[in-house]
Homo-oligomer: A and B are copies of this chain.
Amino acid sequence: VGVDSLTRAQLGIRNIRLIMAYDGSRYHGWQRQSNAATIQEVVERKIQVMIGEPVKLIASGRTDAGVHALNQVCNFTMRSDISLEKIKKGLNSLLPEDIFIRAADYVPLEFHARYSVKSKVYEYRVLNQEDRDIFLRNYLWHVRSPLDSRVMAKCLSLLVGRKDFSSFRSSGSGNMDPVRLLMRAEVHGPEDRLLRFVIEADGFLRHMVRNIVGSVVEAGLGRISFVGFEEILESRDRRAAGAKAPAQGLFLIGVKY
């Protein structure tokens, strides 16, 4: 805060952190792209309308098309002296009904929503029953056949630690280091037939959560054994793993700094 006040005083620049929730159903993911509605683009445009300056919004990470967020963290810098309350209220009155700003705060200029991340927490929701749930259709993956939670929990526990997640990385992630520190990999429930997979890591490869859940569910269905799952992880080969779970079950639920 000391540094922040100083730099603000010297440069007249403020660094604003936003915590936001969004329903990803209607969007082509977080990141700005030509010819497709993205969350970044919509929010940046509304900030600009409100403060009269162009801004670049930095998020903790991209989310893919159809993926939701309960607490996405972003930041942007501005010269405007608009109050935090006006940012929150003003943006919420301008934003469409599927994006909501939970909080707006001043943060030190050093704060960078992506580079400063310590870990991110994702939740993946699976409805495990015969019948569809029409009201939750955009917010879970519907798996009809019974899932064995015990086997799935065992598979998940294999993932905890500093590991090479090449087997659960979709192509298109470039040559990024495939080693990540995974702090948490749990399955909760079923509660009202709903299973919640919670995965926390210091970083995620492309489609990593959905690829993990896809394979874990295969194990839960008995199509992959525990040993088979272990072999998938150790193979470091994406082709060894199961199919990717669909986007609409995935929620970014928190980011730690």
Contacts and interface: CB of A to CB of B under 8 A. Distances in A.
Interface in A197-247: none
A230 B135 CA distance: 36
Contact of A100 (B98, B102, B134): B134
Interface in A5-54: 21-23
B135 A97 contact: no
Interface string A103-139: 0000000000000000000000000000110110101
A45 B16 CA distance: 53
A99 interface: yes
Interface string A83-108: 00000000010000111101000000
A97 B134 CA distance: 6
Nearest to A99: B134
B137 A97 contact: yes
A254 B31 CA distance: 44
A27 to B, nearest CB: 12
Nearest to A21: B134
Interface residues of A, number: 16
A234 to B, nearest CB: 38
A137 B102 contact: no
A92 B134 CA distance: 11
Contacts of A134: 21-23, 97-100
A134 B99 CA distance: 7
A132 B23 contact: no
A125 B92 CA distance: 22
Contact of A23 (B97, B98, B135): B135
A127 to B, nearest CB: 13
A139 B132 contact: no
A99 B133 CA distance: 9
Nearest to A88: B131
Contacts of A99: 134
A100 B22 contact: no
Given A97-B132, A97-B137, 12 more contacts: A22-B134, A23-B134, A23-B135, A92-B132, A97-B134, A98-B137, A99-B134, A100-B131, A100-B132, A100-B134, A102-B131, A135-B139
18 contacts: A21-B134, A21-B135, A22-B134, A23-B134, A23-B135, A68-B135, A92-B132, A97-B132, A97-B134, A97-B137, A98-B134, A98-B137, A99-B134, A100-B131, A100-B132, A100-B134, A102-B131, A135-B139
